[in-house]
Amino acid sequence: MQNPSVLLVEDDAFQRKAAETYLANHDLKVVGVENGAQMRRQVSRAMPDLVLLDVQLPGQDDGFALARWLREQSAKVGIIMLTAANDSVDKVVGLESGADDYVAKPYEPRELLARCKSVLRRSSAKATPSRLERVRMGSHTLDLSKRDLRDAEGNPVAITAGEFDLLKIFAENPNRPLSRDWLLETTSHRSRDPFDRAIDLRITRIRRKIEPDPAKPTVIRTVRGTGYLFVPPAD
């Protein structure tokens, strides 16, 4: 990825300018804004490759709400939360809100740059079409080329076209919270209304087929306030 675009959302003018200058000197295209409203306007023009998002911002939107909004707009944009030093609650809530990483304030510019590069590498890898034909989902295996799901013994598991499309999206976005709205728009090409439970019902059916205990899912997990997360096997 050449000259990635970075959107920095920071209300402190001095810190914003310092970070902008440092990152720009290391081949990143940086735009700085001071609040959520400005961030939304900037994103509406063009989705950046990475957003650096201060947790504590003025106005009605805090950093967590903005992170959730960003994740609804794109599953691939990188998000790094700028949190208070040693605030473990901020870190956990930030990751649950859809962030990829966090940096505690006050931070060393070199650390911020390193985190930016790391998240950009991961985001770039996710944006590249996967060459994998088979993806493990718990004890099951999804064959992307054959549109086929098999259990641990190799027996075929019946899935609908809609269920396969949803599993394929999860396979291409491991360990990344995906919003219900984005999943519906991506798989069905339509917007979700507040009472639309199509994705939830599809997830329920999928869990019955791939989870050891559908009541306590470990493969496709619920992310409170956001949507769902596919967790690949550790081994």
pLDDT 10s digits, 189-201: 544 454 457 788 9
Of 2, 105, 8, 95, which Cα lies nearest the Cα of 51? 8
Paired strand residues for 53: 9, 81
54 touches 62 (CB < 8 A):
no
6 touches 48 (CB < 8 A):
yes
Residue 235: predicted pLDDT: 65
pLDDT band at 30 (very low <50, low <70, confident <90, very high): very high
CA atoms within 13 A on the CB side of 201: 6
Residue 155: predicted pLDDT: 93
Answer yes or no: is pLDDT of 141 > 50. yes
User: Where does 134-230 sit in CATH, by number?
Assistant: 1.10.10.10
Averaged over 27-39, what is the pLDDT? 95
| CATH for the 5-127 domain, from 3.30.930.10, 3.40.630.10, 3.20.20.370, 3.40.50.2300 | 3.40.50.2300
Pick the range with the lowest mean pLDDT from 25-29, 81-85, 206-210: 81-85
Answer yes or no: is pLDDT of 131 > 60. no
Averaged over 209-219, what is the pLDDT? 95
- For the chain, give every domain's residue range: 5-127, 134-230
pLDDT band at 71 (very low <50, low <70, confident <90, very high): confident
Model-level pTM?
Answer: 0.58
Enumerate residues 6+ apart whose C-beta is below 8 A from 152.
139, 140
Answer yes or no: is pLDDT of 36 > 90. yes
